[in-house]
Amino acid sequence: MTQPLIAVVEDEEHIAEGLIFNLEAEGYRTHHEADGDAALAWLLSAKEPVAAVVLDVMLPGKDGFAIVRALREAHQYTPVLLLTARGRPEDVLEGIEAGADDYLTKPFDLAILLVRLKGLLRRMAWHAPAEGATAAPAEPKDEYHFAGRTICFDALEIVAPHGSARLTLMEADLLRYLVEREGKIVSRKEILEQVWRVHEDTDTRAIDNFIVRLRRYIEDDAAKPRFLQTVRGVGYRFIASGER
Amino acid sequence: MNITRRRGAIALFITLGVCLVGLLVTLNIGWIHLLHKRQLALLVGGIVLFGVLIAGVVLNTIFLVREVRRNERQDSFLNAVTHELKTPIASIRLYLETLQRRPVTEEKRQEFYRIMLSDSGRLLATVEQVLKAGEASHRKEKDIHRVLIDMEPLVAECIVITRQRHHLADDAIVLRDVPGAVSLKVMGSPEDLRTAVLNLLDNAVKYSGGKVHVVCELGISGYNRVVLSVTDAGIGVAAKDLKNIFKRFYRAQDVTLRQVKGTGLGLFIVRSIARQHGGTATAESAGHGKGTTMRIELPLAGTGGSSASS
């Protein structure tokens, strides 16, 4: 079995070199890009599957946010771990909103970076379709059904009467959080802290945008949400039956 | 997102200011129409009062717009400095953790030490620049401890330092011979002038784009001023930015787009130092991709300039 390939997109030479040294010591193969435009072009035309991308935000050419957005628009769901020096919650949320799966602020802790990366790879491994004879014994499927819709947490997919959509890991995490607390009100602060690990008072508008996107996947009419309800001044509530 | 929101706020307040001015002008005219036959004193008083009010609102609007602009610059400065401070720290930390965590060959170890040292140098340079900018904006001309300085060796020394810093070949930065081989002396603080020249050279290298080719020239202008010009063949400066780039925190739009790293303080420091020495700092560029010439002029020492008498 070949080792997973990790793309490191980082223009700071020293950090890139250090990351690559460590990733290779962990047994990964690596590919390095230092320019935003070149990185996106490479990722979109990679000859072999890339297991994960470690992506800096401030890059010459396209910035990290734009790269994630472009990848997701091209229906590429390679897990992306954002590295950002701008650690303000707004920046983190912008990254998550763009479709990144995880983020770390610089200066980061090497051990944490490696653990998070391993986490991303493991979650993707669950989600990957089983191949040939080496398919894992059928595990109980991690799915959730409601009102004619199915959220497949392992396939990162949501199937609704009006079509199906791919979810990013972050979206799946948020949905799972809401679904597990079905009927209960979940505050925006709780989402920030529990789901995305952002611990600061911040403008919560980014969450609203996120919810709007989830609604587009599951609601018949995103303007009149039945399942993902807004509780004014508090937060959100998931109602499986879709009743008020 | 933040920026667009703020743009909205500016638009709102400008509209408000313009509406208020319009309202006041209308009232003023109304006042004149109502009163011009009746009471002269009341009429004159009213016109004066309205005039003051209109001026006040206009001034207020201008002030507001300028303040918002400054705030924006400060914001982008914070972003840039955050990046410039955190990146070397992230790198040093990464290498320390690597050394702590893994067995590393002696050769790699030495390489890591070298990288960490260069990052701590970068960190220090940023910190010093921020501190110097703070100092530069407070210090008065008379506070500088002045000595007689020969400019040529000072510039030559700075060129050597810059070459080393950026690992450049000898011909990447050259200093032309001084016409007439005269000695160009100024009264000033050697440390400050070195900072200014180093900043100019650093900029020339940083904004050179690909190949670095910088020419420095020293000469005399108008019989009593020393001129140092630093010319690069780099990305150039748009005409509208030629003055702005000396403002604190200002960074040209295309520079930020290209993500060339910097704090927006370098040229501000250069200009402050030049002014404190009784001189000026200017920029010239034919436009994008056509290179830039930075020029500092300082009073020549011993020619009856202000510095010679003190």
- List, in order of start, the domains of chain A with CATH numbers: 5-126 (3.40.50.2300), 143-238 (1.10.10.10)
> How many Å is the maximal CA-CA distance in chain A?
55
CB contact under 8 A, A12 and B93: no
Q: Give the pTM.
A: 0.69
Smallest Cα distance from B79 to chain A, Å: 7
Are residues B285 and B197 located together in one domain of the fold?
yes
**Torsion from C-alpha of B98, B102, B108, B114, nearest 10 degrees:** 30
Same domain, B202 and B122: no
- Shared domain for B29 and B95, answered yes or no, is yes
Residue A51: is it exposed, middle or buried by C-beta count within 10 angstroms (0-12/13-18/19+)?
buried
Whether A100 and A82 have beta carbons less than 8 Å apart is answered as yes
Regarding whether B155 and B106 lie in a shared domain, the answer is: no
Helix (H) or strand (E) holding B256: helix B253-257
Per the structure, the count of domains in chain B is: 2
- At B8 the pLDDT is 66
Q: Do residues B281 and B156 both lie within one domain?
A: yes
Is A189 within 8 Å of A206 (Cβ atoms)?
Answer: no
Reported as a single tens digit per residue, the pLDDT across B1-36 is 344 455 666 777 778 888 888 888 888 788 777 776
Q: Which of B5, B6, B75, B94 to mutate to test the interface with A (most CBs of A within 10 A)?
A: B94
Is the pLDDT confidence value at B146 over 90? no
| Nearest alpha carbon to residue B307 among B281, B275, B277 | B277
Q: Are residues B123 and B182 in the same domain?
A: no
Give the helix, strand, coil percentages of chain B, each rounded to 5: 65, 15, 25
Q: Which of B138, B168, B196 is the last residue of a domain?
A: B138
| Statement to judge: residues B174 and B302 lie in one domain | yes
d(CA A166, CA A153): 10
Domain-terminating residue out of B105, B138, B171: B138
Residues 6+ apart with CB under 8 A from B155: B175, B197, B216, B218, B228
Chain A positions with Cβ closer than 8 Å to B: 11-12, 14-15, 17-19, 21-22, 25, 58-61, 63, 85-87, 90, 94, 106-111
Least confident among A161-165, B187-191, B198-202, B225-229: A161-165
Instruction: Please report the sign of the dihedral spanned by the C-alpha atoms of residue A119, residue A122, residue A126, residue A128.
Output: positive
CATH number of the domain to which B258 belongs: 3.30.565.10
pLDDT (tens digit per residue) in A60-100: 888 899 999 999 888 888 899 999 887 777 777 788 888 88
Q: Do residues B75 and B220 share a domain?
A: no
Question: Quick one: pLDDT at residue B37?
Answer: 67
CB A95 within 8 Å of CB A125: no
A40 pLDDT band, cuts 50/70/90, is very high
CB B307 within 8 A of CB B278: yes
**Shared-domain flag, residues B102 and B167:** no
Task: Select from A66, A7, A11 the least CA-distant residue to A35.
Answer: A11
- Strands in A149-152's sheet, in edge-to-edge order, are A143-146, A149-152, A157-160, A163-166
Those residues whose C-beta lies under 8 Å from the C-beta of residue B270, and which sit 6 or more positions away, are B196, B199, B200, B246, B281, B294, B296
State how far the alpha carbon of A216 is from the alpha carbons of A58, A158, A236, A239, B237, in Å.
30, 11, 15, 16, 46
User: What's the angle, vertex CA A81, arms to CA A206 and CA A72, rounded to 5?
Assistant: 65
Instruction: Return the residue in A13, A15, A19 with the most chain B beta carbons within 10 A, the one to mutate for interface testing.
Output: A15
Q: Exposed e or buried b for every residue in B57-92, given b needs 16+ CB within 10 A?
A: beeebeebeeeeeeebbeebbebbbbbbbbbbbbbb
Coil/strand/helix, residue B281: strand
B91 confidence band (pLDDT: 50, 70, 90):
very high
pLDDT of residue A202: 61
Q: Which domain holds residue B206?
A: 141-309
For chain B, the average pLDDT equals: 82
CB contact under 8 A, B259 and A85: no
Q: Which residues of B touch A16 (CB under 8 A)?
A: none
Per-residue pLDDT band at A138 (split at 50, 70, 90): very low
Tell me which residue in A60, A106, A107 faces B258 most closely, judged by beta carbons.
A60
State the Cα–Cα distance between residues B244 and A186, nearest whole angstrom: 49
* Cβ contacts of A11 on chain B, cutoff 8 Å: 259
How confident is residue A219, by pLDDT bands cut at 50, 70 and 90?
confident
Q: Calculate mean pLDDT across residues B169-184.
A: 82
The band of B305, judged by pLDDT with boundaries at 50, 70 and 90, is very low
**Residue B252 pLDDT greater than 60, yes or no:** yes
Nearest CA to CA, how far is B118 from chain A (Å)? 10
Do residues B167 and B291 share a domain? yes
Q: Of the candidates B198, B141, B210, which has an alpha carbon nearest to the alpha carbon of residue B172?
A: B210
Which of B138, B162, B193 finishes a domain?
B138
Q: Do B16 and B29 fall within a single domain?
A: yes
Check: complex ipTM more than 0.85: no
Q: Does B108 share its domain with B5?
A: yes
